[in-house]
Chain A
Amino acid sequence: MHELSIAMGIVEAAMDEARQRNVQVSAVHLRLGALSGVVKDALLFSYEVACQDTPLEGSRLLIEEVPVMVFCPRCKEKRVLQSVQSFTCPECASPTREVLQGKELEVFALEVEE
Chain B
Amino acid sequence: MSEPRLVEVRRNVLKQNDVIARSLREQFRFAGVFVVSLVSSPGSGKTTFLEKTLTQLQPRYRVAALVGDLATENDAARLARSKAPVKQITTGTLCHLEAAMVQNALQDWDLHQLDFLFIENVGNLVCPSSYDLGENLRLVLMSVTEGEDKPQKYPTIFNSADVAVITKNELSGVVEFDWDAARKSIESVRPGMKIFRLSAKTGEGMPEYLDFLSRQLAEQRAVVHS
Task: Return chain B residues, CB-CB under 8 Å to A91.
Answer: none
Q: Which interface residue of B13, B14, B95, B188 has the most chain A CB atoms within 10 A?
A: B13
Q: How far is the CA of A96 from the CA of B187 in the complex (A)?
A: 10
Question: Do B129 and A95 have beta carbons less than 8 Å apart?
Answer: no
Is the interface on chain B under 10, 10 to 19, 20 to 34, or 35 or more residues?
Answer: 20 to 34
Within 8 A of B (CB), among A50-99: 84-88, 95-97, 99
Within 8 A of A (CB), among B164-196: 187-192
Q: How far is the CA of A113 from the CA of B7 in the complex (A)?
A: 10
Tell which of B68-76, B155-163, B207-215, B218-226 binds the partner.
B155-163
Task: Return chain A residues, CB-CB under 8 Å to B16.
Answer: 9
- The number of residues on chain A lying at the interface, defined by a beta carbon within 8 Å of a beta carbon of chain B, is 38
Task: Return chain B residues, CB-CB under 8 Å to A9.
Answer: 13-14, 16
Q: Which interface residue of A10, A99, A113 has the most chain B CB atoms within 10 A?
A: A113
Could you jot down 18 A-B contacts, CB within 8 Å? Answer: A1-B127, A14-B9, A17-B9, A29-B6, A35-B156, A35-B159, A85-B188, A85-B189, A86-B188, A99-B159, A105-B12, A105-B130, A106-B11, A107-B9, A108-B8, A108-B10, A113-B3, A114-B2
